[in-house]
Structure 1
């Protein structure tokens, strides 16, 4: 893991908040840490506006217990996006937003107000602190880092449904939770504390653990990668071409590519090239070897040996695909495999029962071998 010097000044223009960025201003550490908090794989990455994503993703559209992380410098939304976000939370999900500047459309919809300027003075040495209000987290609930300027703070809250979770070094609320229907919206005005630069300093990674502890359920976890690159107000319409034409660098690159293709078509259209014969595809001898070996065991009626080979191959698949320990095939193993593979619990239990029988049996009939093979094949075909 990468570390950074104490004197390095982390400016907003250097922060990308990208889950791939291992530089000080990236969120690589946070993204890689989230699976450990929710006992699952990495979050699903979203690269389109919220309203457009809801239309195409069934889990976002109708799921419950979903957590959506959005970390950016400036958050600009459309009315359609805000409506979709509120409906998403109201259904029983959680929306976690960390941003310095938040769109007034979203803020007014949540009945809150934010200060126009940051909490500290520009003449002071940059030093950010985050205090958790929950007294049960003391005494290790304060996290700090130099070279990060203070963020903004909330000046108006709907106290009937809002809980203050954290404050800055001047004890002004900058991290809140708002109840929306069955779900919740988290607003954090200091996204810099979620960057690699802050989290890798001393014990600051504990801040991320305490922040995630406020969330509940983990039917699915999503990570937004759209709004951090959308630093200007936009309409509800969205297309791939609109993204390309929004940024000058991408716009010039697109027109340059079109010009080069046009020149290539003009000068190369007169060139003739003889037909290149098709190259014979190489056969996969390893697959043929495995198939031949299986046929050999089957023809010799060595069913017990063949069933054990099938078992070893299946256990290896589970280890490499789902990162599960297969040394002990317990009820907990069955439950976790059923959750990760997306298959009914009864199907996994049937396979494990068959494996226990195969490991203890000296002889196996042809009928039982075919039934066992059918269960394994059904798992391969239906697993996610």
Structure 2
């Protein structure tokens, strides 16, 4: 495939040929006009390669009486796509291709050759002649500021019909019979843009083109190939379907950036997870019970009670940070306030402590009552 001139590139880069584009280089007018030529329904829009779509669409894969429109600046195909297109046409369908450049893989299967140079400087604008004898002999449509297109240099005359010519009367629009169907090749896709069709009576040009396809009521519109400006390389070329939409393109780059940031920060050495510190449990009751069993069995009540007092005072110092050297009214008041115990209950414990510290002997009953007071203190304090 030959590259276009610099001047022509400057013009063609403004043409998207998209069915949604209402700008001069879009094909919105053509797409919206097609229903009036067929069954009143808009064409089915295809956004994947022809072969991939045919594998999933049973109509394209096995159907007949189908028309497929493909409008692009350059047509780049794979061998698989071309095989699928030819098989599609062979069954009795029509493939309408309008492009400034046609892939050599594609046109070689149609025994056709295209000029290496364009007609860019021949006229100040595009000029399309229709040579169908059923039409008026001077059927011609023009529009300035459109680059001239290429033209055919070799055609298989046994199965090719010339339908249109450029300003120099060189064939640029043909119909080629392939099996039971036909392939239409137009080397001037600019005449299908909004800029051309909305000029004077040029919409009639689209009607002349569509007239050759009457009788085909299932219509497809291609939105895949127009976004490929370089030869395809397998399935990876489908990434460009995502890249052509600004929102998806930004989302893709944002995803890549987030993955890079994640890899960067996660690659650093991570601190070992510090296990949760086990909350200290109150083992005072367990200690008192174990110690009490030992002394109670020996009936050494005074010694046992004093051990209970020592453990209790240690508990007060550790948990409530109170000085137990002096156990007076101020101590009782502060202990009651910190523990939430009634003042009378605290006074009862302190009175028992004073008694035990001075006694030489205490009864089992008194020891049990004192133990009950201490146990209630442990259970009910905050």
Give TM class, smaller chain. Answer: 0.5 to 0.7
Tell me how far apart the structure 1 counterparts of residues 186 and 14 of structure 2 sit (CA, whole Å): 19
Tell me how far apart the structure 1 counterparts of residues 210 and 152 of structure 2 sit (CA, whole Å): 21
Q: Conserved in 2, the CA contact under 8 Å of 1:90 and 1:183?
A: yes
> Which residues in structure 2 correspond to 1:1-384 (within 5 Å)?
11-121=11-121, 126-139=124-137, 141-238=139-236, 241=239, 243-244=241-242, 254-260=252-258
Show CA shifts across 1:160-181 (max 9, x none). Answer: 0000000001000000000000
Tell me how far apart the structure 2 counterparts of residues 32 and 247 of structure 1 sit (CA, whole Å): 22
- Note the C-alpha offset of 1:254: 2.2
Report SS of the residue matched to 1:25: coil
Q: Conserved in 2, the CA contact under 8 Å of 1:65 and 1:216?
A: no
Q: Which runs of 5+ in 1 are unaligned?
A: 1-8, 268-384
Show CA shifts across 1:334-357 (max 9, x none). Answer: xxxxxxxxxxxxxxxxxxxxxxxx
> Structure 2 vs 1, CA of residues 202 and 252 (structure 1 numbering), >3 Å: closer, same or farther?
closer
Show CA shifts across 1:102-157 (max 9, x none). Answer: 00001111000000011253xx5531110001122115620000101210000000
Alignment length (residue pairs): 257
Q: Conserved in 1, the CA contact under 8 Å of 2:38 and 2:214?
A: no
Q: Conserved in 1, the CA contact under 8 Å of 2:224 and 2:241?
A: no
Tell me how far apart the structure 1 counterparts of residues 220 and 178 of structure 2 sit (CA, whole Å): 19
- Note the C-alpha offset of 1:239: 7.2
Q: Conserved in 1, the CA contact under 8 Å of 2:227 and 2:240?
A: no
Q: Conserved in 1, the CA contact under 8 Å of 2:69 and 2:96?
A: yes
Tell me how far apart the structure 1 counterparts of residues 151 and 247 of structure 2 sit (CA, whole Å): 34
Report SS of the residue matched to 2:229: coil
TM-score, normalised to structure 1, is 0.62
Q: Conserved in 1, the CA contact under 8 Å of 2:72 and 2:226?
A: yes
Q: Conserved in 2, the CA contact under 8 Å of 1:64 and 1:219?
A: no
Q: Which runs of 5+ in 2 are unaligned?
A: 1-8, 267-382
- Note the C-alpha offset of 1:11: 1.3
- Note the C-alpha offset of 1:218: 2.4
Q: CA RMSD in A?
A: 2.8
Report SS of the residue matched to 2:111: coil
Q: Conserved in 2, the CA contact under 8 Å of 1:26 and 1:195?
A: yes
> Structure 2 vs 1, CA of residues 203 and 10 (structure 1 numbering), >3 Å: closer, same or farther?
farther
Q: Conserved in 2, the CA contact under 8 Å of 1:165 and 1:176?
A: yes
